[in-house]
Structure 1
Amino acid sequence: MRRSTVTAVAAALVASLAVAGCGAQDGEGPAPKKQAAVKADGSNINAHPLSDIKQGGQLKIGIQQWITQYNGNTPDGSQGDADDIIRLVMPVLFNTDAKGVASANPNFLTSAKVSQADPQVVEYELHPKAKWSTGTPLGWKDFEAQWKALNGTNPAYEASDTAGYDQISKVEKGAGEHSVKVTFKAPYADWQRLFSPLYPASHTSTPEQFNKGWQEKVPVSGSAFKVKDYDKTAQTVTAVPDPNWWGQKPKLDSIVYRALDPSAYTEAYLNKEIDSTSALAPENYKRLVKDASTEIRRGARWDEVHITLNGARGPLKDVKVRNAVQAAIDRKGITDSFSKDLTFELPPLDNHFFMPNQEGYKANAGEYGTFDLARAKKLLDEAGWKDAGEGKPRTKDGKELTLSYTLSGGGASSEQDQAELVQQMLGQAGIKVEIKKVPANDYFNEFVTAGNFDLVSFRFVDQLFRSDAFGNYRQPQGKNLYGNYGSVSSPKLEELLTRAGRTSNRTEAVKLYNEADAEIWKLGHSIELYQRPQITAVRKGLANFGAEGLASRDYTKTGWLK
């Protein structure tokens, strides 16, 4: 399953060293011994057979904002909470196991394989009962419409990611009634990430349908659940089982998504308003672990925390200024502040494509990820920003060197702490940072995905296929930023990523992605901080749900134990 390049809320950061904390500093004794990091295939979902689960009940899930776009192939639709709802109600053609290995979802595919190598041909055999909520069977026309919208040939389609689709030469009906044949003009190793989720041709065949037809609603669904109600006043979206579903009947009667400020999650959980929440931050963990109705579940998700630098405007247009920002930020200091009270190891993250617990990981940050205040000052000198004295911002052509750091107004206080740490660090180099809080519901759509920031911190998650990340680093075209919200790229980087995506030899592909990663650091695209652990508080008795790690979540199996 391709769990798409999704953006999630800004990184949660525990209080900085200057803030009164917990552990040994608050009289509770020495800090606990650190546990090893979770293995790459680590997960805990309280797995149970369906026979153990009662029929009925409701699952309540918190989301970080009201969803304004349900087309996950657009920049606004790639937000993490939207992605979860989309994958609940739309056909997901491939699932992944705990090691992140993809396989055909039998609810939608009876088979999917590469039937020819040169040119590469992939043949899909659709489940004969699979159909849209309109009653129309899933078919090759749906594949064709999705390819045409996402292959990059028509800029009127606001596509967030064209990787893979741009290498297809033809989509046509296969030999059988439910067959689809996709021919590639160049090999594409990650073909299983394409067409998943699948969207209906009836609502994606024109730019107008693609861009605007999924705003604040799902007009056509095609899975075990469908959206029953959108209550903007209550900020809830309610999904229920679709009676026309052809597969295993879901156990739950309904799933309710409720938009909440991230800072309110722990309280809402303890008040039983939602049934799961992150237990990562120590101040939240200490409250949640004591709750008698709670289990803490732990997994190893593909989940990275970073700071994006906007190279499309202001001082950060200059790569030397971006490199100076990299050198002035003490990544270890931020990570140490985050992890000082955690009970497990938090290794540094020096790669944009692989997590430290994954095969293929290589530390590529080098000097661009090393805290070196003297080098930062030297780079700023070379960029023409004159030192105005200790504690004062540098100047150039009569202007102060000032950057904004954009925060969600609904975020936790810990997010403010991270921003203030960055503000202090950059201030030592003569870079003034103004922290800018914006409304939570506007944070992504109006600021992050619109490229309306200088510095911003958020997460990319679930990039189980390396080419999932292509849109994050490609050169934007006009107003379409894809996933590269800071607009930092280069022809060399695009060429490396294109070659890697076309390479079926895993060893060679890993080599190319690591070369691309070194280029990303050199360009000053973003500053990787750490792999965010998956520590989740889940209501006791809830089965087949929690810390899935790299595995797909199957809501048809989620439910309450008898």
Structure 2
Amino acid sequence: MRRAVALLALLAAPAAAQPRDTLTIGITQYPSTFHPNIENMAAKSYVLGFARRPLTAYGADWRLTCLACETLPTLENGLAERETTPDGKAGIRVTFRLREGTRWGDGTPVTAEDLRFAWEAGREAATGFGPAEFYRSAYELIVVDPRTVTLRFDRVTFEYASMGDFQPLPAHVERARWQADPRAYRTRTAYDTETTNPALWNGPYRITAVQPGASITLERNAAWAGAAPHFRRITIRTVENTPALEAQLLAGQVDMIAGELGLPIEQAIALERRTGNRFRFLYQPGLIYEHMDLRHDHVALGDRRVRQALLMATDRAQITERLFGGRQPVAHSSVNPLDPMHDPQVRQWPFDLARARALLDEAGWTPGPDGIRRNAAGERLSLEFMTTAGNRAREQVQQVLQGMWRQAGIEARIRNEPPRVFFAETLSRRRFQGLALFAWISAPESVPRSSLHSDEIPREERNWSGQNYGGFRNAEMDVLTHTIPEQLDAAQRREMWRRLQAIYAEELPAIPLWFRADAHVWPTWLDGVRPTGHLNASPLWAEEWRAR
């Protein structure tokens, strides 16, 4: 009897609050690969931020910091030293020491051999690692001791301590696969064939389950030696349709929507108005450049006058006001006003339909009977126009641009693809035929060599490394993107950046649209997430995330 009364009293008492030890995150893209060094896709960077630690990264304060290394090399602390290369050029040697206790998820220490393997694979062009210029410049790697390596570069750059995508790879898992056939390695890597192998991960979490195209499950990495992460499990769900993603948030199927790959800003603003204080919202401006890449070997787009006409037939100010509430400033080059090297005097193309029509006339494209222009060979000015399927904001932009361009006599044929196909196949292998709408995300003062230098045009013999998807070629741009990093004086570097932006605005290697702000949507009980506004995503500091 007493037991029954006690049980009834317990049932009647308020339930004790359960500790929150899981977190479900919604994003709009699924990684095309989980390999850290193959292909560049924001979804992959976001997911791997939980499970891996690169040598260096830029923090939320936009300063370069060590993650997997102990001390950031500088000329002052002696870990970076100028030297002369064997062929007489000015070079630099940079020494990194891995943090003590850093281990792969199977308990194997992360060592200099893992960095050596990453360097060897990157130096082999057939592997298809990017950025290729890094591996060409880093002509020697010296293993000093099991935790220390020295890289020797054949040029001195202001970003010598930034390792970007160069990071350790588990040689005890991957080296044999790579040695068997470097060209086939990208399809045989354990990162894609054994994604849940704990030996691949050295971050606070490791990937324990994947549902291709749908979800990724991460759990605490028992081998992690850093600060203990709060959440026992993190699930990342991919919902490519942004209205469906919003619906899952409202239904409690996801706890948060990552700003790095989440709702368009106008959708988030409307959601905030409807839901009041149910969620926390943060609108983070950042180095996110929304633009249209275009094929420079296209019969029309290879003509600078046609590219300029496309831009002048685009009322970007009206689009940003109507679709984004004026929160996304119009871009006039690829350099964001938040970046210290932005030139406020760069040429600005106004919306001018009459001038756009005149430029098309001048380029030999005259109106046909249906209003669409034709050249002397009778070819219609009809452009394939692609973006990531399911992104409501981009699809709305496409519809608006289709109407605007038709007034100038340009036809846009919309054909979209899921992000994992669009980025991994269509862009990286240069299979798009006209225009491709997407965003670049960069680090502070990131020289755009990989997207503007002619040597970075992806091609089969290099296994499609490089990000100059449109095939832009300009001799002066090649020189600038190569030499800007070599200028250590910031004032002189700024002058070179000014010239780069002037060429960009005149030649239009891509059509600039606007600079994005990310809309982060969090549950009210989540603390510690620090959006950066640049290339290095917030999960790189996931061990700081906490539930109240």
TM normalised by structure 1 equals 0.81
State percent identity of aligned pairs.
18
1:350 correspondence with 2:332:
yes
Is 1:268–1:274's contact at 8 Å kept on the other side of the alignment? yes
For the pair 1:120 / 2:99, whether they are aligned, the reply is no
Map Cα deviations across residues 422-449 of structure 1 (whole Å, 9 max, x no partner).
1122212221111123345423223233
Q: Is the 8 A contact 2:129 2:465 kept in 1?
A: no
Alignment-derived partner of residue 293 in structure 2: 308
**One-letter amino acid of the structure 2 residue matched with residue 338 of structure 1:** L
**2:169 & 2:529 partners in 1: Cα distance?**
26
- Alpha-carbon distance, 1:55 to partner: 7.1
The reply on whether 1:446 has 2:425 as its aligned counterpart is yes
Q: Does 1:215 align with 2:207?
A: no
Matched, 1:170 2:150: no
| Structure 1 counterpart SS, 2:126 | coil
- Residues 256-300 of structure 1: CA deviation (Å, up to 9, x unaligned): 111112322211111112222346533442333443431112333
Matched residue, 1:27: none
Kept after mapping to 1: 8 A contact 2:340/2:445: no
Note the 1:194-233 alignment, pairs <5 A.
194=163, 196-202=166-172, 203=174, 205-206=178-179, 207=182, 208-210=184-186, 212-213=188-189, 214-215=191-192, 218=195, 219=197, 220-232=200-212
Stretch of structure 1 that moved more, 139-148 or 430-439: 139-148
Specify the alignment match of 1:295 in structure 2.
280
1:502 correspondence with 2:502: no
**Partner of 2:132: helix, strand, or coil?**
coil
In structure 2, do the counterparts of structure 1 residues 56 and 272 end up closer, same or farther at CA, with 3 Å as the change threshold?
closer
Q: Which residue, 243, 251, 255 being the options, matches 2:234?
A: 255
1:359 counterpart (340, 343, 348):
340
Whole-Å Cα distance in 2 between the matches of residues 136 and 283 of structure 1?
45
2:45 alignment counterpart: 83
Correspondence for 2:155: 186
Quick check: 2:265–2:518 contact (8 Å CA) kept in 1? no
Larger relative contact order, structure 1 or 2 (CA cutoff 8 Å, min sep 6): 1
Alignment-derived partner of residue 58 in structure 1: 22
Distance 1:110 1:358 in 2: 26
Name the aligned partner's letter for residue 215 of structure 1: D
Question: How far apart, in 2, do the equivalents of 1:56 and 1:539 lie?
Answer: 12
* Residue identity opposite 2:73 in structure 1: A
Query: Is contact 1:62–1:258 with CA below 8 Å preserved after alignment?
Result: yes
The TM-score, its normalising length taken from structure 2, stands at: 0.83
Preserved contact between residue 58 and residue 64 of structure 2 (Cα < 8 Å): yes
Moved over 6 A (4+): none
1:282 has 2:262 as partner: no
Report the alpha carbon displacement of residue 330 of structure 1 after superposing the two structures with TM: 2.4
* Change over 3 Å in CA distance of 1:540–1:147 after alignment to 2: same
Shift in CA distance, 131/197, structure 1 to aligned 2, threshold 3 Å: same
What displacement does 1:134 show? Answer: 4.1
Query: In 2, are the aligned partners of 1:269 and 1:275 still within 8 Å (CA)?
Result: yes
Q: What letter is aligned with 2:185?
A: Q
Deviation at 1:478, TM superposition (A): 2.1
How many matched pairs? 494
Residues 365 and 373, structure 2, Cα contact 8 Å, conserved in 1 = no
Q: 2:110 aligns with which of 125, 129, 138?
A: 138
Runs of 5+ unmatched residues, structure 1 = 1-53
Letter in 2 for 1:558: W
Sort the Cα spacing of 1:79 and 1:315 in 2 relative to 1 into closer, same or farther, 3 A: same
Partner of 2:216: 237
User: How do 1:509-548 and structure 2 match up within 5 A?
Assistant: 509-545=493-529, 547-548=531-532
Distance in 2 (CA, whole Å) between partners of 1:212 and 1:506 is 43
Contact 1:293/1:539 (8 A) holds in 2? yes
Partner residue, 1:322:
307
Alpha-carbon contact 1:55-1:252 (below 8 Å) kept: no
Is the CA contact 1:125–1:179 (under 8 Å) kept in the aligned structure 2? Answer: yes
Q: 2: distance between equivalents of 1:140 and 1:177? A: 5
- Distance (Å, rounded) in 1 between the aligned partners of 2:419 and 2:222: 35
Q: 1:316 to 1:549 in 2, by over 3 A?
A: closer
Tell me if 1:102 matches 2:87.
Answer: no
Q: Distance in 1 between matches of 2:346 and 2:224?
A: 48
Q: 2:53 & 2:60 partners in 1: Cα distance?
A: 21
Q: Which residue of the partner structure matches residue 402 of structure 2? A: 423
The code of the aligned residue for 1:199 comes to: L
In the other structure, the counterpart of 1:333 is: 318
Residue 127 of structure 2 is matched in structure 1 by 157
Letter in 2 for 1:209: Y
8 Å CA contact 1:488–1:524 kept in 2: the answer is no
Query: What is the CA-CA distance between 1:93 and the residue it aligns to?
Result: 1.9
Rounded Cα–Cα distance in structure 2 between residues aligned with 1:267 and 1:549 = 26
Q: Which has the larger displacement, 142-151 or 425-434?
A: 142-151
Unaligned runs of 5+ in 2: 1-17, 84-90
Alpha-carbon deviation of 1:181? 0.8
What is the match of residue 365 of structure 2? 385
Aligned twin of 1:411: 391
Which has the larger helix fraction? 2
Task: Check the 8 A contact 1:142/1:198 in 2, yes or no.
Answer: yes
CA contact under 8 A between 1:130 and 1:137: conserved in structure 2?
A: yes
- Alpha-carbon separation, structure 1, partners of 2:47 and 2:451: 22
Distance apart, 1:317 and its partner CA: 2.8
Give runs of aligned pairs for residues 418-497 of structure 1, distance below 5 A: 418-439=397-418, 441-453=420-432, 454-467=434-447, 469-475=448-454, 476-479=457-460, 480=464, 482-497=466-481
